[in-house]
A and B are shown apart, each in its own frame.
Chain A
């Protein structure tokens, strides 16, 4: 005869166990954010998470129709992922463990690039279409201030001590220094003078401006390297005095400088003449000018090499950083556009977003082998790995 009492008790115990497991599984989806690479899936309006141990998608968070995220980043503690929805004029805060959308915050127009303060208290969202930076307080998850007067602000770089931030303004030939405690503009540092002969060609200088997209910081935080597209120079700024100490001539139309992981070199991609200028940061002189490809918008460092991403040619150009010589190029595919990549914290593999075929490509820096992760979503625009030294956007 069945003991009803025992059956009921057993069911109850099993119910407790299953309910607990179910709750736990539902609540926490990412336990270790260092293994979850962010994938900005622009045209699906999602932020995806890719497990870099298995190269499989964990899942994604939908932001809303027509959000079109541009760049995303982990908060320093890995609790949140933030992104700007360029077409929604909103900043989105994602709770990482549960992979849920925690907050959508109205910001300025056309938010693109962003940066966290080193302590993670604030996140600066650049709004290039409204020439402003939205200061988001990560405690209240609200915009507490909007810093204006920054012509087409793109990238923002904080000092390691969090006292100041430097905004690259593509609509001007200067870098703006921001007091990161009071969130106020301190000064603007001119990167280079417009040549006097520009008066002979007013149409060229009045039609479109390619200024400073980014100020890249040296490993010790002492210097910034700010490339100016129109002027073809890199300005070296001393962050202690906020003063331009040197102007280095590079190739034509440099996009920005990328710092090698060992701090020895600052590399600019010069899209005007399809070259790369390798600047020795000890002497602040160009150590080598290397042949590249068209429309280079990203540089990564892995396995002792440098990799320049030529977005429209589908090539990733490789260079030996020891000899400063070319080391071949990797053809990702035919008729596909590649975007930007992040490098894992072991400096071995890169995760490259390929927008037109909806894939992520994993490139082994040592062997140059390429593995495709297809169907991650519509038009992946970029990737981000927590604590990677190559987290950037174009």
Chain B
């Protein structure tokens, strides 16, 4: 730039400032068009770019190679030089198709044709250059090389045809055809190899993603009086919820798509579960009347079929059908509590019995759960972690439940559980306790419970519960209350205990076998995660004492069990019970009852 103005000729300093300033401005503008160093590509403007690396056939970076990009329409040329890592970059090329030529001393020049430069995108193109000697060697056996290239092209055409047939978009199919045609026009082996590489890259991009991944999304929209829908708030428009399909640019393997489809189908369908248990026991009299039964074996088999289905948001339907068959010891050896807790389910032999069917929903950010239908309220109350499940823990009902609860049978009812996940929960339930009741006001059993989680340093967590029960069976109001806790003592052992005291509900016609007690104590310990034969096994020892002062009956029961988890679905457990029963004016009667339980759950 020269200073031609008469004023600047008289003032060289001004000329220098002007020249420098304007030159600096031009340099700054030009710098916005090209990168200052390879690899730094501003993404803010709306031109396109391309970058990549140039390596030799041995994988070594080619520094100082000249990369020339020529616009196929305008013939405008842009050049870049590879750096020490072989990297090059064009940051802001005008959009269009480009032919690239890469030249480096001692290496055969490389060309790439018809590269599309699109707005705001910078594809990465890796280039391999071959030594001039390699080119000569290829020339010395050109037939073999050409034959190999021809074979590869044929295979690629077949793959492209397969990919094109599964593609939804015709544009992709057209581009495949264009790539093939382009290749057909090339003669030099290196050009054809380079074109093959490009087509493989393109095919790889499309081959796994056979179709665009989409999903349906719940969105907020704004709708005005004319019904026009907006994605942003608009004055006068009301906000509404709608559903819309969205595409995402994600590649998924076929295996992932299948897995997703199966999980979706499972979520929408009815899930079925099966629990089958067989309990075999043997009773040997240890004390009392020599004429009382002794030495008999007993067995009871139970099959539970349960169904679960999601009906609505946070709403689940559940049904449980059970059938039992066999002779439990409780028929010949009656007592205050059941020696086999499964006996409580026995209504009629070999008959399907609808045990439970209910609907459960969750409200208030899922803090409150409401259940209504035919229930077993004991499922919701006094859920002692160590002694509550007759399928894998104790067998005797005196250690599975609290006889002072006095619940006879399943029935129509309602339960509410408030659990804000702060270690405090409140429960309330109402259930009819007589299947022969003629109206909903008859034989109503009500239960309320408060539970608290406490973590004692160096011991672990403990759950503490207090409950209160009222019944109106036989038109007589009866109440009882109880306490229950399960407290970890280290990582291996859990202590548990229960207490109950109150009036005994009147037994009405239609009520089946159940455990009863006016005053009740139980306690024991359960072990797992240690002192076991196999990692998932558990075992426990417990003692339960049940009293009915009104009749002078008393029962003391001790039980030990070892539960062996054979597989995730199969458990085998061994039990040993001793029960001592006494009544006013009669001699105590004692039995030793070993047993085996085999349980399978699906």
Given A201-B568, A290-B461, residue A328 in contact with residue B422 (CB < 8 A): yes
- Chain A binding surface SS class: mixed
- Category for how many chain B residues contact A: 35 or more
Interchain nearest-CB distance for A90 vs B (Å): 8
CB-defined contacts of A204 to chain B, threshold 8 Å: 567-568
Please pick, from B7, B41, B420, B570, the residue contacting A4 in the complex, using a CB distance under 8 A.
B7
Chain A residue with Cβ nearest B124: A104
Asked if B142 is at the interface of the complex by the 8 Å CB criterion, the answer is no
**CB interface residues, B 245-264, toward A, < 8 Å:** 246, 248-251
B43 touches A62 (CB 8 A): yes
A15 touches B250 (CB 8 A): no
CB-defined contacts of A195 to chain B, threshold 8 Å: 534-536
CB-defined contacts of A9 to chain B, threshold 8 Å: 14, 17-18, 21
Please pick, from B217, B250, B490, the residue contacting A356 in the complex, using a CB distance under 8 A.
B217
A215 and B384 alpha carbons, distance in the complex (Å): 35
CB-defined contacts of B14 to chain A, threshold 8 Å: 5, 8-9
Tell me how many residue pairs across A and B have CB atoms closer than 8 Å. 174
Please pick, from A18, A66, A327, the residue contacting B422 in the complex, using a CB distance under 8 A.
A327
CB-defined contacts of B570 to chain A, threshold 8 Å: 200
Given A100-B39, A328-B420, residue A26 in contact with residue B218 (CB < 8 A): no
Chain B residue with Cβ nearest A98: B40
A232 touches B21 (CB 8 A): no
A328 and B248 alpha carbons, distance in the complex (Å): 34
Binding-face segment, B115-123, B128-136, B321-329, B501-509: B115-123
Binding-face segment, B26-34, B282-290, B296-304: B26-34
B250 touches A200 (CB 8 A): no
A324 touches B455 (CB 8 A): yes
Please pick, from A12, A16, A102, the residue contacting B40 in the complex, using a CB distance under 8 A.
A102
Asked if A286 is at the interface of the complex by the 8 Å CB criterion, the answer is yes
**CB interface residues, A 116-156, toward B, < 8 Å:** 140-142
B421 touches A289 (CB 8 A): no
B39 touches A95 (CB 8 A): yes
CB-defined contacts of B217 to chain A, threshold 8 Å: 356-357
- Taking Cβ atoms with an 8 Å cutoff, the residues of B that contact A are 5, 7-8, 11, 14, 17-18, 20-22, 24-25, 27-29, 31-32, 36, 39-44, 51, 61, 85, 87, 120-124, 126, 205, 208-209, 213, 215, 217-218, 246, 248-251, 313, 365-366, 420-423, 453-455, 458, 460-461, 488, 490-491, 529-530, 534-536, 565-568, 570
Can you pick out 21 interface pairs between chain A and chain B where the beta carbons lie within 8 Å of each other? A8-B14, A11-B21, A15-B24, A16-B20, A19-B27, A22-B28, A42-B250, A43-B249, A44-B249, A61-B43, A66-B251, A99-B43, A101-B51, A102-B40, A204-B567, A233-B535, A286-B529, A288-B460, A289-B460, A325-B454, A378-B246
Beyond known contacts A286-B529, A288-B460, A329-B421: 14 more, CB 8 A cutoff: A9-B18, A12-B18, A44-B249, A61-B43, A62-B121, A65-B249, A66-B251, A100-B41, A101-B122, A285-B491, A291-B421, A325-B423, A325-B454, A331-B365
- Taking Cβ atoms with an 8 Å cutoff, the residues of A that contact B are 4-5, 8-9, 11-13, 15-16, 18-20, 22-23, 26-27, 42-45, 59, 61-62, 64-66, 68, 87, 95, 98-104, 106, 140-142, 195-197, 200-201, 204, 231-233, 248-249, 285-291, 315, 317, 323-329, 331, 334-335, 356-357, 378-379
